[in-house]
Amino acid sequence: MLEQGNKELAPGPLETVGQNRFAAGRLGTLWIAWIPEGLVMVELRGEPPPAEVRRRWLPEVDEIPERALPREVYEILGRYFEGEPVDPATLPVRLSGTKFQKGAWAALRKVPRGQVRTYAGLAKDAGSPRAMRAVGMAMGANPIPIVVPCHRCVGHGYTLGGFSGGLDKKRFLLELEGVVVDGDHVHPGQLELL
């Protein structure tokens, strides 16, 4: 049995709709929701978001039952937070958003663990090279941080930029992946040149 939230549960399958918490070491507790197609939400504060926020990303489900985390999710996240070289971006997801958001998130999921991409680079990858601010907004609207790794998106001049979970969590995730962070800047050698 594995500890999830305050209950002992065996990891479950991804073929159901569910929610649960995951202890992510120094990052704290994550709240995760999924449907059979993949993960739909990861909340960095460890608590389910308000119902109106959940309905925006998961409109077809009224109630999300508490279930054991899917085995694949539990194993990949567990290994990731133990510092093993696995990439949560490989987990299945079901994204809801605008066409541009989905394009930016898809481009972001191609940035390998241990590397970063600028807002401008992601805008170019998403087919709108001048839409850096729109990329920033898409990163802020990302319902599945860590799995859709918006922490790998940095600002002009290799600055950390923003992060929905706060810059301390962004810095922690980047360093966990081996990215060199110096204050509020990322070492330029970590930049993904696509």
Catalytic residues: 150
- 122 with 107: CB under 8 angstroms? yes
Q: What does the alpha-carbon distance between residue 16 and residue 35 come to, in Å, rounded to a whole number?
A: 6
Q: What does the alpha-carbon distance between residue 29 and residue 114 come to, in Å, rounded to a whole number?
A: 22
The two three-digit tokens of residue 188, written as one number: 């330029």
The two three-digit tokens of residue 112, written as one number: 């390998």
Residues 6 or more apart in contact with residue 12 via CB below 8 angstroms: 18, 67, 68, 69, 70, 71
- 65 with 19: CB under 8 angstroms? yes
Helix (H) or strand (E) holding 40: strand 38-43
